[in-house]
Amino acid sequence: MSYTALYRKFRPDTYDDVKGQEHITITLKNQIQSERIGHAYLFCGTRGTGKTTVAKIFAKAVNCEHPVNGNPCNECDTCKAISAQTSMNVIEMDAASNNGVENIRQIVEEVQYRPTTGKYKVYIVDEVHMLSTSAFNALLKTLEEPPEYVIFILATTEVHKIPITILSRCQRYDFKHISVDTIKERLKELADIEKMEVEDKALRFIAKSADGSLRDALSLLDQCEAFSIGEPLTYDKTLQILGAVDTDVFSDMLRAIISEDTRSCMLLLEEMVSYGRDLAQFVVDFTWYLRNLLLLKTSDHAEEIIDMSGEKMEALKEEANLIEVDTIMRYIRILSELSNQIKYSVQKRVLIEIALIKIMQPSMEVDYESLKNRVSNIEKKLENGILVGSAGNAAVLQNCAGHTRAGGVQGGKEISPKRQMAVPEEIKKIADNWYSITKSISGHLGVGIRKNRLSIDENQVLCVVYDSSIDWEQDNKPDNIALIKETIANATGKEVNVELRHVQSQEKYDESYQLLETNAINFEIEDVEEEEEDF
């Protein structure tokens, strides 16, 4: 006898067996019990979440001779015929391969005839978004006013491709991603039935790899079990079969990056290649690992969000103390860019190596986060008594916000470094990067100086021109002006004269002002999309 795949063997026969979609199954059971059955349904959701399965159960339930609490009995002749796919009352059509107008016209002709047995003719159209425009138009009128004995169930993974005229004629049900815990419990239940010996940790990893799809999870379990027939399925074997990477590798990789140990990074990557790990998936998983680290640094109750064992969580907390939030965000940005590039590359390993080197060498980038990362590394070396080169690093120390130590000490007192006044071109660059330079200023002042427009007068004074007199009066204070000037000086190494002015006081300056054709929103967009200019 031929082998039957697990996802086919254990396809649910009743709504009670459908996992993770209770908001849909309860509604459909109530409709059947109260005899408030609709004429058209639209089932939406990602693959493997139960759309077709629920449609078949519904088709059996509405035709069942002895329904039980809205569920089909699966014992009567009608239920058995539908389960065996021999019933003339349930017609399944794959719209991916039957998407022409002639296929729909055939359905339109067939609906004129009543079912020979049972109450309803049920048409299940899978991947309905693949129908042509002409096919949708042909279906439209019949879908709106079908005979009382006809039910349409449309299933799709891409609901945005379905015309609104079709959507408005259907009851829409959205199938959710099934949670990792729900999938794991179902896998454990079926493994016990099949007498499979599987580690709990391996089941959880399979459930997580399925990405919300119970069908995918069963297929992965099938694949892993075939590898270890007659032997227990362990976590390590599961990793080996699925080409995945253990989280210990991410921890080792992160520590090597923090230590700027290029050799260790390359050896870890070489080890993954030699074991046949999926490099694209490694990038995705490493990004997710950093996301967990970021949540741990920025959330008070991260343990409730992060799906990780207690032992792994303690290791993650230890690593959280080794790295700053801005640095993590820079790592995630570089890996996200890499993830987009790697999809279409045949040299995945080379791209990953370049990205890892780029992460460890902030000097290869000139954006604000990279400069802060460089300064942080230099400070750590200075704290450990390691000498750093004076030329390049002194420039970095001068150019980055909040980290300058170039002033030195004289007579036991720390003195501020002497800075030069910015020239007109430099003032224009400061205006172009205004959002990034001033984003460390928070509160009412920070909002005010970034949402109002900038101008530069004939005396090279950088002015923030307020529209609201109330906001201007609240922000225009000596301490605030000093804070803005100090923030600019720390970020650029240059002194700039700054004033906050109200729009009415600006009228007499209109002829001499060079108004910048932008506002705070534009600066924010430029800061995200373009690299800042170095000072």
DSSP letters for 24-37: HHHHHHHHHHHT--
Q: What is the mean pLDDT of residues 298-314?
A: 72
Q: Quick one: which of 22, 89, 88, 101 has its CA closest to 61?
A: 89
pLDDT at 373 over 90: no
Query: What percentage of the chain reaches a pLDDT higher than 70?
Result: 81
Mean pLDDT of 297-309: 73
Residue 443's pLDDT band (cuts 50, 70, 90): confident
pLDDT confidence band for 508 (50 / 70 / 90): very low
Positive/negative CA dihedral, 506, 507, 512, 518: positive
Name residue, tokens 């001033």: 438
- The residue-averaged pLDDT of 112-131 equals 90
Which pLDDT score is estimated for 512? 38
Q: What are phi and psi of 152, to 5 degrees?
A: -105, 130
Q: Which domains, ranges and CATH numbers included, belong to the chain?
A: 6-174 (3.40.50.300), 180-242 (1.10.8.60), 247-360 (1.20.272.10), 373-403 (no CATH), 421-529 (3.30.300.180)
Contact between residue 452 and residue 406 where contact means Cβ atoms under 8 Å apart = no
- The band of 175, judged by pLDDT with boundaries at 50, 70 and 90, is very high
Give the list of residues 6+ apart from residue 158 with CB closer than 8 angstroms, or none.
129
- Counting DSSP H helices and E strands in the chain, the numbers are 25, 13
Q: Output the CA–CA distances (angstroms, integers) from residue 243 to 273, 407, 444, in the order listed.
A: 10, 53, 51
pLDDT beyond 60 at 160: yes
pLDDT at 130: 92
Burial class (CB in 10 A: 0-12, 13-18, 19+), 484: buried
Rounded mean pLDDT, 264-286: 86
Tell me what the pLDDT averaged over the chain comes to.
81
> Per-residue pLDDT tens for 34-60?
989 999 999 999 888 999 999 999 999
What pLDDT band is residue 367 in, cutting at 50, 70 and 90?
low
Q: Which residues fall within 8 angstroms of residue 377, CB to CB, at 6 or more apart?
A: 260, 362
Q: Give the torsion through C-alpha atoms of 195, 196, 199, 202, to 10 deg.
A: -140
Q: Mean per-residue pLDDT for 277-306?
A: 83
Q: In what order do the strands lie in the sheet with 453-456?
A: 498-502, 462-466, 453-456, 514-515
- Bridge partners of residue 465, in order along the sequence: 453, 501
> Which of 138, 133, 126, 129 is CA-nearest to residue 102?
138
The pLDDT of residue 271 is 86
Helical residues (DSSP H) of 168-213, grouped into ranges: 180-193, 200-209
Of the ranges 44-58, 435-449, 504-518, which one carries the lowest mean pLDDT score? 504-518
- Identity of the amino acid at 288: W
Q: Which of 127-136, 409-418, 495-504 has the lowest mean pLDDT?
A: 409-418
- What is the average per-residue pLDDT within 384-413? 45
Q: What is the pLDDT of residue 309?
A: 60
Fill in the DSSP letter of residue 346.
S
pLDDT at residue 403, as a whole number: 41
Pick from 96-110, 267-281, 500-514: least confident: 500-514
**Above 80 in pLDDT, residue 1?**
no
Q: What's the confidence (pLDDT) of residue 470?
A: 84
Confidence band (pLDDT; 50, 70, 90) for 436? confident
Q: Per mean pLDDT, which range of 31-35, 41-45, 516-520 is the poorest? A: 516-520
pLDDT at 405 over 70: no
For residues 268 and 249, the answer to whether their CB atoms sit within 8 Å is yes
The pLDDT of residue 469 is 83
Average confidence (pLDDT) over 478-496: 88
The per-residue pLDDT for range 101-113, each reduced to its tens digit, is 998 999 988 888 8
Q: Which amino acid is at 455?
A: S
Comparing 117-126, 329-338, 396-405, the range with the smallest average pLDDT is 396-405
Q: Identify residue 343 by its one-letter amino acid code.
A: K
Mean pLDDT of 82-91: 88
Q: pLDDT grade, residue 235 (50/70/90)? A: confident
Long-range (24+ apart) CB contacts under 8 A made by 29-37 are 29/61, 29/69, 29/70, 29/71, 30/70, 31/70, 32/58, 32/61, 32/62, 32/67, 32/70, 33/67, 33/69, 33/70, 37/62, 37/120, 37/151
Q: Indicate the pTM of the whole model.
A: 0.57
* 196-203 average pLDDT score: 88
**What pLDDT score does 53 carry?**
93
Q: Quick check: 391 pLDDT over 60?
A: no
Which segment of 12-21, 143-152, 293-302, 324-333 scores lowest on mean pLDDT?
Answer: 293-302
- pLDDT at residue 374 in the model: 64
- Whole-number percent of the chain with pLDDT over 90: 23
* Cα separations in angstroms, 34 against 38, 73, 325, 451: 12, 17, 55, 57
- 388 has a pLDDT exceeding 60: no
With beta carbons less than 8 A apart as the criterion, state whether 212 and 49 touch: yes
Query: At 108, which amino acid appears?
Result: V
Q: Is the pLDDT assigned to residue 387 strictly greater than 50? A: no
User: What is the three-class DSSP state of 170?
Assistant: coil
pLDDT of residue 266: 93
What's the alpha-carbon Rg for the chain, to the nearest Å? 32
CA distances from 348 to 267, 341, 351, 467 (A): 16, 9, 5, 52
Neighbours of 57 (CB within 10 A): 27
Q: Is residue 427 predicted with pLDDT exceeding 70?
A: yes
Mean pLDDT over 335-352 rounds to 86
Which pLDDT does position 308 carry in this prediction? 62
